[in-house]
Each structure stands twice: as C-alpha cells, then as structure tokens.
Chains A and B, each alone.
Chain A
Amino acid sequence: MNDFDYAKPVTLSEAISTYKKYGDKARLLLGGTDLVVMLDDGVIQPDIVIDLKGIDELKKLEFDGEFLHIGSRVTFNELIDSEVVKEKFPVLWEASKTVASTGVRNRATLVGNICSAVPSADSAPALLVCNAAVVIATDSGDKEVPITEFFVGPRRTILKPGEIVKEVKIRASNKKFGGSYIKLGRYDGEDLAQVGVATVVNEDREYAIAFCAVAPKPVRAKEAEEFLKGKDLTDEVLEEAAKLAVKAISPISDIRASKEYRLYVSGVLVKRSLKTSLARMNGNGPKYGERLV
C-alpha cells in the first residue's frame, strides 16, 4: 500500500471540487469493501482518498410514492432492513441478501457495488430488470443515466473524474408483477457469483431478464425478452427463451467456473428464475429470499 492523503468532506460540492482538483489521482470511498482491498493489493495508488461518509444527504433511503431513492451511503443491510424495499422492490431485496455476508453488508453499499462495476456485481441484474437510473452529481449540476448505459466494461463505468454518484433511483411498478434473483456461487460461504440472473414478469406478460458474471458487464437479454412478450411460459417457450437468453452472454473461464459450465447453468437458472417470477406474480411461488435452485 502506498501513502495517500485522506479527505472527509461534509458537502457534495466540496467533494466534487476536491475530486476535480486531483482528477484521476483521487479515489472515492464508501464502505471500502472493494476500495480498501484494491489499495491493500497495490492495484490502485491514489494521491488522495475522498471519504463520502461525512456527507449527510447521501444517507437518504426514501420512497416518494413513485420513486425509490437509494443514496450512495445506503448499505446492503439497510436495504434488507427496509420495509418498502422488501415490499415494493423485492428483486432488489432478494439480490441484496446474496451479497457477501452480514459483516461485509454492514459496510458495503449498493452504489459502491455498481461503481466498482465488476462483472459479478450482484445488485446489477436487479437494477437492470427494474430499469433503475443513476443520478450523478457534477460541478455543472446533476445528471441522470439509465443503468443500462452506466456499465462500460469490466471495472469500467461512464463516470469521469469529478463525477460522483449521488443516488440510484427506481420507479415502483404499478402493475402486478413477480420477480426473482438467483445467484450461483461455489459454496454457501461468501463468494462472488459464477452466474447471477434476475427476471421480472408482469400481468401484461412483459418480461425482463438480466445476468451478471457471464459477460464483460452486467447485461439484459433483450432478444429473449422480445420473444417472451405476451407469451405464457410453456416448457417449449421456456426452452426457446433460455436459448435466446444465453445468446446475450459471453462468459469466460476463470478460477470460479469454466465458460462451458457458466453457459450451461445460465440456461438452467434463467428457466428457474422465470418460473419462479411467474409463480410469485400469481401468488403461489416461494417467498422472496428463499433458496430457489
């Protein structure tokens, strides 16, 4: 680890100006569960670390009747403990429970998760199927970007030095729907996903499907979604949908799984997830948070 300065601004504008001043020599800090690991390994060697945990407005976790606002300081355990998240955004709730372990979730934030932009980010598929938006604070005001445009590649987002994610915004669905997130790891202890898949279906038979850990960035499976539109989930339809869905992914082999295994289980999991989502919409699926596979 190299030596670096540490700043803990109390306002967002102060944070932005410090960030602007140092440019790519600065790093932002939330829970630090990714950042500190990278610092310790020496893969990043910033001149300054800007801790955002002194900024009160980033602590917001609020539902305004239409949107859920998740401030960047909100941790996964805070999401899990929130009644409104559990009730209105159950896929995100379910996904949050799969992140690491209680100890890590006490610090780890949703915004930190997407800003790290590792392909296996567990919150990403849920945010993708919920059409979330990312609110970014800049020195020329806030801007809003759909989550689909936020990820650029492995560990890369559209963010530029000086830009700070303020919150993630998700519109509540006004239709009847069901959803699910299934994460496959090598064991029950904390592990990054070999494959993660989230799906949502609503009463108009509109489907959304997203994956993590099986492509350079978390992805939606648009072709499969189009195919499914308006259809019931018969066995043949499911088979075809799974086939189309895995066309959207391009997994690699690594220490956690081979490419072949990832491709295979992605197909398996997408079917399980779709079935579960439909059953949940119809009120006869397993409870959210239960083991699905």
Chain B
Amino acid sequence: MGEYKYIGKSVPRVDAAEKATGHIKYMSDLSFPNMLWGKIVRSKYPHAKILKIDTSKAEALPGVVAVVTWKDVPGLNGFGIVVPDQPVLCEDKVRYIGDAVAAVAAETKEIAEKAANLVEVEYEPLPLVDDPIKAISEDAPKVHEGGNVHLHTKIVRGDVEKAFEEADLIVEHTYYTGRQEHAFLETESGVAKLEEDGTLSVYAGSQYPQRDQMQLSRCLALNPRKIHVVSYPVGGAFGGKDELTIQPILGLLALKTKRPVKIVLSREESIISYWKRHPMIMKYKTGVKKDGTLVANKVEIYADTGAYASLGGPVLNLAVEHACGPYKLDNVYIDGYCVYTNNGVAGAFRGFGVPQVTFAMETQMDIIAEKLGIDPIELRKKNALRRGDVSPIGNKLTTSVGTVAVLEGVKETDLWKNKDKIEKVDKERPWIKRGFGFALTYQGTGLGIGLPDYGGAVLRFREDGGFIVGVGIVDYGQGTGTSYAQIVAEAMKCPVNKVSVILGDTDLTADSGPTSASRGVYTGGRAAIIASKRMMKILKEKAAELLSVSPEDLEAEGGYFYVKNQPDVSISYDKIAMEFLKTSGHLPQTEGYFLMPIADIKIKDAFGLPHHIFAYSGHLALVEVNTLTGQTKVLEGAEVVDGGIVVNRQGFEAQVEGGYVMGMGYGLMEDVKIEKGIFKTVNFSTYIIPTVKDAPKRIQTVPVHDPEETGPYQAKGIAETVMVATAPAITNAIHSATGIRIFKIPATSELIYNLLKE
C-alpha cells in the first residue's frame, strides 16, 4: 500500500474536534423561534380495535396548538421501506404497544405531555399474537388481514435427504436469539419546519435522506422537491434509523400548525416504539463426512418481525442467504419465515439477519470440529468458499473471497498462538474456568440483486483550492465522512484537510442509496473517485493552459501541478481556482455515479439475493466462566477482517472494537423482554449493554485482504461483519471452558447456571 499517500493511514476523524468540544449540533439540539413541542399518543394495547378517538379535551387545554389523528394524514397513511403497511397514525386498529394513534403540538413540552394524556381512545382488545411459530398456523388470530406470514423464502439445492444418508455425522439443534436494541446515544429526535416558500424542512437523524423524502412525500402528499430532509449529524443509528421513525408525524404537525415542531423521544418511548433486531428460532440439521467435508444443511428459520414489515423481509432473506456460512455446500434446504406478531417492531440492525444464523451455524461447526476431532480452523478451511466457487445458494463468487486470508490471519493472532497456554482452571479460584473460542463469518456488501443499488457523489472546487464532496450517505459514527475526505484527497492529490465533506442532505448531496449493508465506503467512495477523475481532468487542462504546456506533461501532488522533470515550474490549486473565477465567474463542479456490480444469477423467489461482494471476518474470544454464579467475562478478543483495503487505520480499529463489544452484548446480555406484548426492559436500568468495565481488556484488530478490484482503492466494507461472529466465538469459548453448549443467546449468568446444573 506504499503507493498511497492517505489511504490506509490513521487519519483523525474530520468531525473529531466538533464532537469532542460539544460544538456539533445534533437534531435534538436544534431550536427555532416560535417552536412548538410535539408528543405522540401511543397505543395502550398490543393488539386492539380502535372504537373511538376523542381529542376534544386535549384540544381544549390552553397551550395546545394542534392535535392530529389519521384524519389529518393528507396522503397515504402508511410507511415502510418495502411495504408501506405501518400507519402514520392508526385509524381502526393497533398492532403493537408503540403504535401511534394521535399526536399533539403545544407551546411547551409539559403541555404537550399533558395533552397527550387527555386524548381519549376507546379500544376493544383483540387476541394477542406473540409466538412466531404459532402465528403461522391458519387458525391463529391475524395481525394483518393478509395473514401473519409476511414473507416465506425457500431455497433448495441438491438433495439434502440423500446427502444425509451419506453423511457420517449429523448434528441437529434448535437455536434461539434475543431481541437486541440499537441503544444509540441520541433517541429519535428532530424538528420539522415549514419554510416561507412552502418547503417543508425535516431535520431528523436518519440513514437515507432521499428515501425519507420519498416516503414523506407519499404520506404528506407533497411534491418531493418541496421537502428538504437533513439527516446528518446523527447520534448513532446502527440500522435503527434506516426506516422512518418520527418524521411523518413531525411533518404533519408542522404542516398543520405552520410553526416549527420538535420531538425528542424519551429512552422509554424510543425502546418501545421502534426497531429491534429480529429474534429468530432456527432449526439446523447439518451432515458431514468423517474427514470434515460438509455434505448437507437443512435449516428452518422463524423471524419475529413484530407488527409491521419495514425491512423484515430483506432481513429474513439475508439470514437465508448466509445460513450456511461461507462454506461450500451443494445440498441445502433453507426454509425461512418472516412472521408478524404483536411483539413491538423489528427491522434493520447491523448484521441484518446474519448474526442470528451465524450464531447457529458457527455453533454447528464447533460441535462438528469437536465430534470429529478436527482443528476448528482446519475444518473451516476444508470447507471454505474460495473465489470461483459456487455459494450454497447457487451463485458463482467472482469477487474477492477472503476466507483463507482470514483463517491464515487467525493463526497469527496472539490469542490463537497462546491458546494452549491458557490456565484452564484458576489456581486461586478453582471455580473459575477458562476457554477459547472461534467463529468465522461473512457479510454481503450492498443491497443485492434486483434493488436499485448505486453510489453518487458531487464534488465542488473551492476558492482556496480545496474541495467539497457531497454524499447522501450519513456518518452516524462509522467514520465514513473521514474516509471520503481521504479518498478525495488521494484522488485529487491534495491534503486531507483541504477536503470538506457534506453528508445526508437532499439539497446538497448526491443520492448514494441507504447508509446500510456495509455499503457506505464502497458506494460513496467509488462515486467520489469518479467525480474526482473528472475534476482532475478539468483542473489539469486549466493548469496546462496557464503553464503553456500540454496536460500530459503535468503531474499533481500536494495541491500543486508540476511539469514533469521540471519541479520548479508549478501552479497551486488555489491559483487555478482564482483563474477560474477571473475568467468564468464560477468554479467547476463534477459528479460521479455508478451502479453496484451484481451477481451472475438471481435466486428465484428470494428478492435481493444473492449478493455479489462480501466481507469476511474471524472472531476469537478468551473467556472466563464462573461456575458458581454462571457469570462470563470476556478477557480478551481478536478479529481478523477482510473488508478490502482499509481506508482509515484508526477508523478500522474503532469499528472492529465497537463491533466486537456490540457482538459481546448480543451474546451475553442484551434482550428486550416483551411479555404478552408489553415491554419489560424499557431503559438502561433494566436493559443492559456492555460498559467499558465489561469490555475485554484487549481486542486485537488485524486487517487482511483479498483485493476487490471494483472497490474504491480496493476497499469493500467492514461495518457489519465486525460484530456478526462475536457471539458464537464467545459461546464456543464458554463450551471450551465448561463443556456446556449454548443454544440460546444471550447467555446470561442465569442461563449458564441452569445449564451447569443439568
């Protein structure tokens, strides 16, 4: 990577100073003159008919400016990225306890809250649907008219039954995963404001401003050009702000009151009302030869998507696609159901269906390695997909496949090298048992086939010879913005601090698709390179003209053009900018757009599948299990990641460490409990996430790569894979420490105690 000046280096985040000093204004910090406060009235039942909504008492309260119900929704009373089945405000039925029924705008937050309590809604409770498997049966009560199965995806290749007959070992287990909360620092918050020209400005942190604009235009019956969405900065998202949240209600209130309206959700309302990771029940049956060759995999998946579709369908499909892990398997039978229930709502979350199946498949692999007495790395290597292979679901992998690079890298980690030196039982405290675990995973980059998947960037030349790059992608903490600055600096041969970045704004940035699917660096980055090449050509021509040489004679470096072999004949970018202004009165602007490359085949009946480009990672854990109390502590972790070329080394480390700890929370402690449709863990006193005290004292982060030629400077993306296989690495380590197998996460102390007791 010596050829790059900025790519692969540790570059401080472009937004570090403003964030560290508290200068940055998040949406929840915004305030406008004459601003009102909004409050949403939510359902009192997880499943009920609405008989009557009476807003008169709320409207009569002094200080209340408007109360809205379904009657006030001018357009389609529904939103949802795939199917708009979620009402902005419910009319005749509520399907979960967070469903929005009405909303209030008032002079103060306190009045708005009081008024919300005065909205009288008469309900007739309906039978509850809270078990995703029971929900499938014909006679189950229905969450939606069309039935409780939102999506059924089945992929069959080869003949599993025949292959099972030929297998030497069959491993069969059922796995359960928890309902993880994104737990972003900033709850869903924002302001909507009607401008003098009739434009509706919506300031609310989200992951795709252009799609918010489209969905809002549908609900509010406004021309999308009359809606300006600003979705950056965001205090964290992790998938939880991919779908709309409070935006349509903010919009309604602003349109009705003609004043700015602000909503900031409390943590409790945030947890109850919006997206979670899908809990899944997964039945696995895996057949393998004595020598470790996988021959068949039969998988049933039941995903609880809660009351509305949102991205539940695509989440299920990613689970189906990744269900067999990055392994060669010619006989597969994968049957997945995404099911409606009254258990809140589930949607996009880092990993998007893959953490669930990876927990299951990598436990299967660990069991197989143990039963056959094969080293876990060798077992995986034996079966690992390589470039040119056909994936379990049938597409040919023609792009970068990092399985072998990752597995080789794992052997070089400190944890792996020292794994046999672990003191398995603590000398002083013999009830403390230690163990080591490993898991491998992969994760599609981009949206897959059949969905419009593109990147876009606009690049403007600045008066001072620097550049402004505008990408619709949102940096909600990943550091994408800094990567764009590095990519443009590399392409334009200028210092990173000469590049400013604008993100997530429908007026100022190019549509680059959603900030999801680990696609931010790939899409925005590649588009920025295209825009940069165009810009470079324009600048070079101008420089050549000014220096009276031909463009081919020029070379760019550090914000200057030099004449080759005559380094003293040069011109700086800022001089060129002045010349542009002098001669034409404006500075050049370029754009870059491209379509994501796609796979060779489409999978029948599985929308979006397959993906074409994948990131790979190996996760390691050294744990300590207290066999008296069941508590597990992760002492040390490591990850080896192939996400293509690393753009920002320190950003890479931060992503990996953060992903690891998030995966650890998923494996050991996080689960939003819902009983009979009612949330039991609505704040951080009851719902716990790992703190700095729980994090391992060290997480070794190792980048490896199998170059991806199509990526910007051969980068792919790492955002999701880095959290995906941490949970099974930990649960496999718990097994190696104690001999018990974990089939359900989170593996809380109590769960481990119960297993140890058996």
Q: Which positions in A face B, CB cutoff 8 Å? A: 1, 3, 184, 186-192, 255-258, 261, 264-265, 268-269, 272, 293
Binds A, one of B194-202, B602-610, B679-687: B679-687
Contact B629 A255, beta carbon cutoff 8 Å: no
5 interchain pairs, CB-CB under 8 A:
A1-B110, A187-B688, A187-B694, A256-B686, A293-B626
- Bound-state CA distance A166–B631 (Å) is 39
A188-B693 contact given A268-B628, A293-B629, CB 8 Å threshold: yes
- Bound-state CA distance A188–B696 (Å) is 11
**Is B753's CB within 8 Å of the partner chain A?**
yes
Q: Which 6 A-B pairs have the closest CB atoms?
A: A189-B691, A188-B693, A261-B750, A188-B694, A255-B686, A268-B628
- Bound-state CA distance A171–B625 (Å) is 39
> Contacts of B690 on A, CB cut-off 8 Å?
187, 189
Contact B673 A265, beta carbon cutoff 8 Å: no
Contact B750 A272, beta carbon cutoff 8 Å: no
Contact B693 A189, beta carbon cutoff 8 Å: yes
A293-B686 contact given A186-B669, A255-B680, A255-B681, CB 8 Å threshold: no
Smallest CB separation, B624 vs chain A (Å): 11
Per a CB cutoff under 8 Å, which of B629, B673, B686, B688 touches A268? Answer: B629
Task: Specify the chain B residue showing the minimal Cβ separation from A37.
Answer: B685
> Contacts of B749 on A, CB cut-off 8 Å?
184, 186, 261
- Bound-state CA distance A188–B686 (Å) is 14
**Is B748's CB within 8 Å of the partner chain A?**
yes
- Bound-state CA distance A190–B690 (Å) is 10
Contact with A along B714-758 (1 / 0, CB 8 A): 000000000000000000000000000000000011100110000
Secondary structure at the A interface, as helix, strand, loop or mixed, is loop
> Contacts of B691 on A, CB cut-off 8 Å?
187-190
Smallest CB separation, B732 vs chain A (Å): 20
- Bound-state CA distance A189–B688 (Å) is 8
- Bound-state CA distance A254–B691 (Å) is 22
A186-B748 contact given A255-B686, A265-B629, CB 8 Å threshold: yes
- Bound-state CA distance A261–B757 (Å) is 11
- Bound-state CA distance A3–B750 (Å) is 42
Contact A258 B694, beta carbon cutoff 8 Å: no
What would 16 more interface pairs be, CB under 8 Å, given A187-B693, A261-B754, A265-B629? A1-B110, A3-B110, A186-B688, A186-B748, A187-B690, A188-B694, A189-B690, A189-B693, A190-B691, A192-B685, A256-B686, A261-B749, A261-B750, A264-B753, A268-B629, A293-B629
- Bound-state CA distance A261–B689 (Å) is 21
Task: Specify the chain B residue showing the minimal Cβ separation from A41.
Answer: B268
Secondary structure at the B interface, as helix, strand, loop or mixed, is loop
Smallest CB separation, A174 vs chain B (Å): 32
Contact B750 A257, beta carbon cutoff 8 Å: yes
Smallest CB separation, A172 vs chain B (Å): 31
Smallest CB separation, A51 vs chain B (Å): 22
Contact B694 A189, beta carbon cutoff 8 Å: yes
Contact A191 B750, beta carbon cutoff 8 Å: no
Smallest CB separation, A157 vs chain B (Å): 22
- Bound-state CA distance A165–B689 (Å) is 36
- Bound-state CA distance A268–B630 (Å) is 11
Contact B669 A293, beta carbon cutoff 8 Å: no
> Contacts of A258 on B, CB cut-off 8 Å?
750
Contact B629 A187, beta carbon cutoff 8 Å: no
Per a CB cutoff under 8 Å, which of B628, B631, B633, B673 touches A255? Answer: B673
- Bound-state CA distance A184–B631 (Å) is 9
> Contacts of A191 on B, CB cut-off 8 Å?
685, 688
- Bound-state CA distance A269–B688 (Å) is 23
Interface of chain B residues 535 through 569 with chain A (CB within 8 A): none
> Contacts of A293 on B, CB cut-off 8 Å?
626, 628-629
> Contacts of B685 on A, CB cut-off 8 Å?
191-192
Smallest CB separation, A73 vs chain B (Å): 25
Task: Specify the chain B residue showing the minimal Cβ separation from A40.
Answer: B266
> Contacts of A184 on B, CB cut-off 8 Å?
629, 631, 749
- Bound-state CA distance A189–B673 (Å) is 19
Interface of chain B residues 463 through 496 with chain A (CB within 8 A): none
Contact A261 B688, beta carbon cutoff 8 Å: no
> Contacts of A255 on B, CB cut-off 8 Å?
673, 680-681, 686
Contact A272 B693, beta carbon cutoff 8 Å: no
- Bound-state CA distance A51–B699 (Å) is 46
> Contacts of A269 on B, CB cut-off 8 Å?
629
Smallest CB separation, A107 vs chain B (Å): 16
- Bound-state CA distance A272–B431 (Å) is 11
Interface of chain B residues 664 through 685 with chain A (CB within 8 A): 668-669, 673, 680-681, 685
Task: Specify the chain A residue showing the minimal Cβ separation from B693.
Answer: A188
Task: Specify the chain A residue showing the minimal Cβ separation from B266.
Answer: A40
Contact with A along B579-602 (1 / 0, CB 8 A): 000000000000000000000000
Task: Specify the chain A residue showing the minimal Cβ separation from B268.
Answer: A41
> Contacts of B754 on A, CB cut-off 8 Å?
261
- Bound-state CA distance A257–B629 (Å) is 12
> Contacts of A261 on B, CB cut-off 8 Å?
749-750, 753-754
- Bound-state CA distance A186–B686 (Å) is 10
- Bound-state CA distance A293–B428 (Å) is 11
Interface centre among A3, A187, A192, A268 (most CB of B within 10 A): A187
Task: Specify the chain B residue showing the minimal Cβ separation from A256.
Answer: B686
Interface centre among A184, A189, A191, A268 (most CB of B within 10 A): A189
- Bound-state CA distance A1–B113 (Å) is 9
- Bound-state CA distance A190–B694 (Å) is 10
- Bound-state CA distance A293–B750 (Å) is 15
Smallest CB separation, A292 vs chain B (Å): 9
Task: Specify the chain B residue showing the minimal Cβ separation from A264.
Answer: B753
- Bound-state CA distance A178–B33 (Å) is 64
> Contacts of B110 on A, CB cut-off 8 Å?
1, 3
Per a CB cutoff under 8 Å, which of B669, B673, B753 touches A187? Answer: B669
- Bound-state CA distance A261–B690 (Å) is 22
Smallest CB separation, B39 vs chain A (Å): 14
> Contacts of A187 on B, CB cut-off 8 Å?
668-669, 688, 690-691, 693-694
Smallest CB separation, B4 vs chain A (Å): 40
Contact with A along B640-684 (1 / 0, CB 8 A): 000000000000000000000000000011000100000011000
- Bound-state CA distance A255–B681 (Å) is 8
Interface of chain B residues 10 through 51 with chain A (CB within 8 A): none
Smallest CB separation, B112 vs chain A (Å): 13
Task: Specify the chain A residue showing the minimal Cβ separation from B429.
Answer: A293
> Contacts of B673 on A, CB cut-off 8 Å?
255
> Contacts of A256 on B, CB cut-off 8 Å?
686
> Contacts of A190 on B, CB cut-off 8 Å?
691
> Contacts of B686 on A, CB cut-off 8 Å?
255-256
- Bound-state CA distance A1–B109 (Å) is 10
> Contacts of B669 on A, CB cut-off 8 Å?
186-187
- Bound-state CA distance A257–B680 (Å) is 13
Smallest CB separation, B682 vs chain A (Å): 10
Smallest CB separation, A184 vs chain B (Å): 6
- Bound-state CA distance A237–B616 (Å) is 55
Task: Specify the chain B residue showing the minimal Cβ separation from A1.
Answer: B110
Smallest CB separation, B498 vs chain A (Å): 40
> Contacts of B750 on A, CB cut-off 8 Å?
257-258, 261
Smallest CB separation, A284 vs chain B (Å): 12
> Contacts of B629 on A, CB cut-off 8 Å?
184, 265, 268-269, 293
> Contacts of A3 on B, CB cut-off 8 Å?
110
Task: Specify the chain A residue showing the minimal Cβ separation from B757.
Answer: A264
- Bound-state CA distance A256–B753 (Å) is 14
- Bound-state CA distance A57–B629 (Å) is 43
